[in-house]
A = this chain, B = another copy of it.
Amino acid sequence: MEPKPASLTRWIDEYHNGVRYGLEGKVLFNEKSCFQQITFIESKRYGTALLLDGCWMTAELQEKSYHECLVQPALCSAKNINNVLIIGGGDGGTARECLRHAEVKRLDLVEIDRRVVELSQKYLPTLGGNAWTDPRLHININDGVEWVKNKKGASYDVIIIDSSDPQGPAKGLFNKLFFENCKRILRSGGVFATQSESPEAFRKIHIETIKTIREVFDFADPLYGSVPLYPSGWWSWTFAAMGKQFYKEPIQQRAQTIASQCDIWSIEWQTGAFKSMPASIHRELSQ
């Protein structure tokens, strides 16, 4: 039997292929930007949460299980981390995780939708936290596809793709040409990172994404974790590099400076998460 929500709250759901995942809460703000429907809700369970086009993106009290897993395997293992690029990530969580590293000198955040940045700063200020006022952060309201196309070679030590699903504004962030430009602008010893969807709810896209990245980079491997807000809760992030699997060898000293503040990520967790590929995905990737 459905529990009666507290007064003024209701259920707000994401629908995906015969499954729905809902949070009890109330809508704080709703706007159709030039790119997408942007909704902020106040949820009973996870604090303020953001939906884009009706899909859960992040929530105050459940964002670390996504942002740490996307950022720290790359930031803790690239040879240098002076210059970092984030495509997407307008909520600020990925930028905050990057800027925890004092070694980062410049961070370019390229977000296509200005309103996601402005509204996240207003409704989800803890996600970006100090990043929003950090002089190392440079916000560029721009198309990530164009940005990587126009940037000169070897510009970044780390490139992080923090996108929504490959439909709507994020569509161009999942194809070979885009990955080739990322490789071109990545420095030697650098690490490329992208969210790579659910091995369960988006199995086909997940597999295709890994295969495509493997065609472009010398090495690419997914790691697996959990983001309860996302379809199936089962999520993946894929890391790529040239020459060797830098992303599998975190630098102890760098890791130690951030580990005690991590909820999910640790060197041990990461080592396990890279091995946790479901057997049937492994078979399909080996074909």
Contact = CB atoms under 8 A, between A and B. Distances in A.
Contact of A282 (B232, B266, B277, B282): B266
Contact of A233 (B54, B233, B266, B272): B233
B13 A18 contact: no
Interface in A228-287: 228, 232-234, 259, 262-266, 268-269, 271-280, 282
Interface stretch (A21-29, A108-116, A148-156, A206-214): A21-29
Interface string A10-47: 01010101111111110000000000000000011110
A200 B45 CA distance: 12
A276 B273 contact: yes
Contacts of A268: 275, 277, 282
Contact of A263 (B264, B275, B279): B279
Contacts of A8: none
Contacts of A44: 18
Contact of A275 (B18, B264, B275, B282): B275
Contact of A43 (B18, B22, B201): B18
Contacts of A277: 268-269, 272
A226 interface: yes
Interface residues of A, number: 49
Contacts of A273: 272, 275-276
A282 to B, nearest CB: 7
Contact of A272 (B11, B228, B259, B275): B275
A54 B263 contact: no
A167 to B, nearest CB: 16
Contacts of A275: 268-269, 271-273, 275
A227 to B, nearest CB: 8
A211 to B, nearest CB: 19
Nearest to A233: B233
A276 B276 contact: yes
Given A17-B45, A18-B45, 20 more contacts: A3-B15, A18-B25, A18-B43, A18-B46, A19-B22, A19-B23, A20-B22, A21-B22, A65-B200, A224-B272, A224-B276, A262-B279, A262-B280, A265-B279, A266-B282, A269-B275, A269-B278, A272-B272, A275-B275, A276-B276
17 contacts: A18-B24, A18-B46, A19-B22, A19-B24, A19-B228, A20-B24, A224-B226, A228-B232, A232-B233, A259-B279, A263-B280, A264-B279, A268-B277, A269-B277, A272-B277, A273-B275, A273-B276
Which 3 pairs of residues, A with B, have the shortest CB-CB distance?
A233-B233, A272-B275, A18-B45
